[in-house]
């Protein structure tokens, strides 16, 4: 299994058989804190994954003691304000540069599973929230940290937490910056699954996903990405459009045939 760093460093990608990409934040000495190079590396990773043929699922995790400690305030403070693009400028479709770091996982066409351990604060929590599924160590330390520094969550947190976290709970955690663990994260909606070995569990889920019709997986993700934001009539039509394209397709027929013959499916990648 070959592992390669992104052009900007800070993030490594390796491909496993079956189309599962393992993505790692590799700034372990700083608990994978987000500095300008990490921002660039994550966006590089998104571009590389978009272009990867045969991609079916992604596992996102951090090396070392933590998933991501949030913003590296020292490095950010050393970046002169005159060098920064205004946050209101949309540099990546509907997102600015910082928002894209979290949104890119939602924008990928395949399911993404985040494996969270150690510290997951602020921007790191927003990056993890971009994933479709979050597997969290019960002892992980998590927090919506921005208000501690006189700021608000602005790396797509409000967009990504909508539908996940109860509104009043999210307000309390945002206003107070109270830390919570993996078990509490599950209770609040930040975690999908609690597991003491989150990378192994996330990888197992990714391979299970990779054994399903990849066209159906991508169609399901497109539907998930819009169903909270459009009208009932629009989502009903979107379901019908996706299903009509799948019914009778080569991969859909193979899904049925392989189940009937009790064998592993041989799907054609998009």
Mean pLDDT per 10-residue segment, the chain (270 residues): 76 97 97 96 96 97 98 72 78 95 98 98 98 98 96 97 96 98 98 98 98 98 96 98 98 97 96
The answer on 162 and 33 residing in a single domain is yes
Residue 82 is predicted with a pLDDT of 46
pLDDT value of residue 118? 98
The reported pLDDT for the residue numbered 73 is 81
- Total domains in the fold of the chain: 2
Q: HEC string of 72-137?
A: CHHHHHCCCHHHCCCCCCCCECCECHHHHHHHHHHHCCCCEEEEECCEEECHHHHHHHCCCEEEEC
Alpha helices in the chain (DSSP H): 36-51, 73-77, 97-107, 123-129, 157-161, 167-176, 182-188, 198-210, 214-226, 232-246, 250-260
**What does residue 88 show for φ and ψ, rounded to 5 degrees?**
-75, -10
List the domain range (segments joined by +) for residue 46.
3-210
User: Which of 210, 227, 244 lies at the terminal end of a domain, its last residue?
Assistant: 210
Residue 174: the pLDDT is: 98
Co-location of 24 and 43 in the same domain = yes
Phi-psi domain of 122 (left: phi exceeds 0; alpha: psi -120 through 50; beta: other): left
Check residue 209 and give its pLDDT: 98
User: What angle do the packed helices 36-51 and 97-107 form, to 10 degrees?
Assistant: 30
């Amino acid at each position: 299994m070959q592992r390669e760093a992104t052009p900007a460093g800070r993030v490594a990608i390796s491909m496993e058989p079956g189309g599962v990409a393992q993505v790692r934040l590799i700034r372990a000495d700083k608990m994978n804190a987000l500095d300008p190079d990490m921002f660039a590396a994550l966006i590089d990773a998104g571009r590389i994954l978009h272009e990867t043929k045969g991609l079916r699922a992604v596992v996102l995790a951090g090396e070392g003691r933590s998933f991501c400690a949030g913003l590296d305030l020292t490095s950010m403070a050393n970046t002169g304000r005159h060098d920064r693009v205004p946050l209101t400028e949309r540099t990546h479709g509907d997102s600015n540069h910082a928002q894209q770091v979290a949104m890119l996982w939602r924008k990928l066409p395949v399911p993404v599973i985040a494996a969270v351990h150690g510290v997951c604060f602020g921007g790191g929590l927003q990056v993890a929230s971009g994933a479709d599924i979050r597997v969290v160590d019960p002892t992980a330390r998590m927090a919506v940290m921005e208000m501690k520094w006189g700021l608000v969550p602005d790396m797509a947190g409000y967009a990504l937490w909508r539908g996940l976290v109860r509104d009043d709970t999210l307000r309390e955690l945002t206003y107070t910056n109270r830390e919570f663990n993996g078990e509490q994260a599950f209770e609040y909606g930040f975690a999908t699954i609690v597991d003491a070995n989150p990378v192994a569990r996330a990888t197992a889920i990714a391979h299970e996903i990779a054994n399903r019709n990849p066209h159906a997986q991508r169609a399901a993700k497109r539907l998930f990405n819009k169903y909270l934001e459009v009208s009932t009539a629009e989502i009903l039509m979107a379901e019908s459009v996706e299903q009509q394209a799948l019914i009778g397709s080569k991969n859909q027929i193979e899904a049925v045939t392989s189940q009937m013959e009790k064998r592993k499916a041989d799907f054609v990648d998009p």
